[in-house]
Amino acid sequence: MKRVYLDYNATTPVDPAVLDAMLPYLRDNFANAGSVHTPGQRARAAVDAARDSVAALIGAKASEIVFTSGGTEADNLAIYGAVAASTKARKHVIASAIEHHAVLHTCEDLARTGVDVTFVPVRPGTDGRGGQGIVDAEEIRRALRPETVLITVMHANNELGTIQPIEEIGRIAREAGVCFHCDAVQSAGKIPVDVERLGVDLLSISAHKFCGPKGVGALYVRTGTSIVPRFRGGHAERDRRPGTENVPGIAGMGKAAELARAKLAEDSVRIAALRDRLEKSLLEQVPDAFVNGDRARRVPNTSNITFRGAGGEALLIGLDLQGIACSTGAACSSGSTEPSHVLLAAGLSRDDARSSLRFSLGRATTADEIDYAIATIPSVVERIRAISPRAAAASILAQ
């Protein structure tokens, strides 16, 4: 049976060149990068080279890169750290309603400690099938208060792929003198990311989203931006993130960033063409199916489709049995019985949100794999609808 992986937003395969870059620091050059002896200095050189590479990917200075264990830690460090660094007596944070749980749950935790949090909605839809999945920057402006200490809005949504108006929000934040954090975990390596152009003070990325290893990420901290560390210990990462550096992971992230930067233009054009062909074919073959989110303002690899009347979990299992791996939403929400908060925020009904699948492509996706998906998915949808009479009846009544 053919195996087709269409879940690149959850994680990506490690590029062979990335693995080659990591292996020396798992074998012979295993020293601690904090040690002053020669092996330690070799490890330090690898970390420094990787820092340069990651900085280049997002248009930052090497001194502004803090290595973390991944995107979640980077988000937590940015949000908790910026709020703790503020000297205001009362504190207010603004976030979008479609943030990743690494941001959403962090903001909810802050709210429990007395920080006021405003979750700004996304634009409503015009066709009864959910909204664009894009934040209105003017809603951010209207949410500002004198006590606002942080705005946090993601660059590209992990479920819809929709690209948020970060540059516009960045200008609003600068005018108000408010720190601005952006979760760019799903955009770095897929579309150009330039921290100066975006106007952000803090930006999170994760290596395993662009063919690097799991367990390593980075937080961009603009020069002059204050954050309070979440951990206590030694003086690693300029006192911003103590702990022994993950040298093999960091070396791998550096190589992955180098490759992503070199291949970005070529990859995005090819992947977008494959995504569009998959999408077009499925909409032509499967009745009562529609794409969620703005189809123009999104990263090139992501398609979120509702197959009305077919339960997403059943579809997921049915496709997996046919060798196709995709997702009903964020991988970190696996096992949840609740429909996606992103799709609900975008205006979908609970039933439609539960009948949606995310297909995300990547560097290794081939035309043959997309052909197989196009030939397989419609029949699986038809079968799931046939054995779900209650869902099918709800679909008919909704028309």
What CATH number is associated with residue 119?
Answer: 3.40.640.10
Q: Three-class SS of residue 290?
A: strand
Q: Give residue 396's pLDDT band: very low, low, confident or very high (50, 70, 90).
A: very low
Give 183-226 pLDDT, tens digit per residue: 999 999 999 999 999 999 999 999 999 999 999 999 999 999 99
What pLDDT sits at residue 304? 97
Query: Higher model confidence: residue 130 or residue 217?
Result: 217
Within this chain, do residues 187 and 292 fall inside the same structural domain, yes or no? Answer: no
Q: Can you tell me the distance from the alpha carbon of 39 to that of 26, in angstroms, rounded to the nearest whole number?
A: 13
pLDDT at 42 over 70: yes
* Domain stops at, among 216, 235, 260: 260
209 and 73 in a single domain? The answer is yes
- Rounded CA-CA distance 329/359 in Å is 9
> Residue 334 has which token pair?
């696996």
48-87 pLDDT per residue, tens: 999 999 999 999 999 999 999 999 999 999 999 999 999 9
Amino acid making up residue 122: V
Q: What is the pLDDT of residue 237?
A: 86
Query: Where is mean pLDDT largest: 30-44, 226-240, 334-348?
Result: 30-44
pLDDT of residue 127: 58
Q: What is the pLDDT of residue 107?
A: 98
CA pair distance 31, 111, nearest whole angstrom: 42
The residue type at 14: V
**pLDDT for position 399:** 40
pLDDT value at 318 more than 80 = yes
CA dist., res. 151 & res. 168, Å (int): 12
| Whole-number pLDDT of residue 1 | 82
- For residues 148 and 173, give the distance between their C-alpha atoms in angstroms, rounded to a whole number: 10
**Mean pLDDT across 377-382:** 97
Question: Domain holding 318: CATH number?
Answer: 3.90.1150.10
As a three-state string, the secondary structure of 207-259 is: HHHCCCCCCCEEEEECCCCCCCCCCCCCCHHHHCCCCCCCHHHHHHHHHHHHH
Are 124 and 236 in the same domain?
yes
Which of 41-55, 127-141, 220-234 reaches the highest mean pLDDT? 41-55
Rounded to whole angstroms, the Cα distance separating 57 from 224 reads 21
Confidence of residue 339 (pLDDT cuts 50, 70, 90): very high
**What confidence tier does 336 reach under pLDDT thresholds 50, 70, 90?**
low
Q: Is the pLDDT of residue 334 over 90?
A: no
Instruction: Take residue 10 and report the two structure tokens written for it.
Output: 């959850």
Where does a domain end: 260, 289, 308? 260
pLDDT digits (tens, 9 = 90+) for 7-24: 999 999 999 999 999 999
What number of other Cβ atoms are within 10 A of residue 374's Cβ?
17
Q: Same domain for 249 and 394?
A: no
Do 187 and 219 have their domain in common?
Answer: yes
Q: How many domains does the chain have?
A: 2
More confident residue, 198 or 394: 198
Between 222 and 231, whose confidence is greater? 222
Q: Which of 107, 182, 326, 332 is catalytic?
A: 332
Q: pLDDT value at position 333?
A: 47
Q: Are residues 239 and 286 in the same domain?
A: no
Do 184 and 286 share a domain, yes or no? no
Do 184 and 274 lie in one domain? The reply is no
Look at residue 212 in the predicted model and tell me its pLDDT.
Answer: 98
Tokens of 384: 């799931």
Same domain as 71, residue 36: yes
Per-residue pLDDT, 337: 65
Q: With pLDDT > 90 as the criterion, what percentage of the chain qualifies? A: 88
**What's the rounded mean pLDDT across residues 240-268?**
96
Instruction: Report the alpha-carbon distance of residue 120 to residue 143 in Å, rounded.
Output: 8
Q: Return the SS3 of 327.
A: strand
Phi, psi angles (nearest 5°) of residue 56: -65, -35
Domain end point (choices 216, 241, 260): 260
Would you state the pLDDT for residue 331? 52
Cα separation of the two ends of the chain: 37
pLDDT at position 232 over 90: no
Residues 60 and 34 both lie in one domain: yes
* Band of pLDDT at residue 132, cut at 50, 70 and 90: confident
- Same domain flag for 106 and 242: yes
The pLDDT of residue 239 is: 77
Are 304 and 200 members of one domain? no
Find the helix packing angle between 101-112 and 71-85, rounded to 10°. 30
The number of C-alpha atoms within 13 Å of 108 and in the hemisphere containing its C-beta is 8
| pTM of model > 0.75 | yes
Instruction: Judge whether 107 counts as a catalytic residue.
Output: no
Domain containing 291 equals 4-12+264-398
pLDDT of residue 392: 43
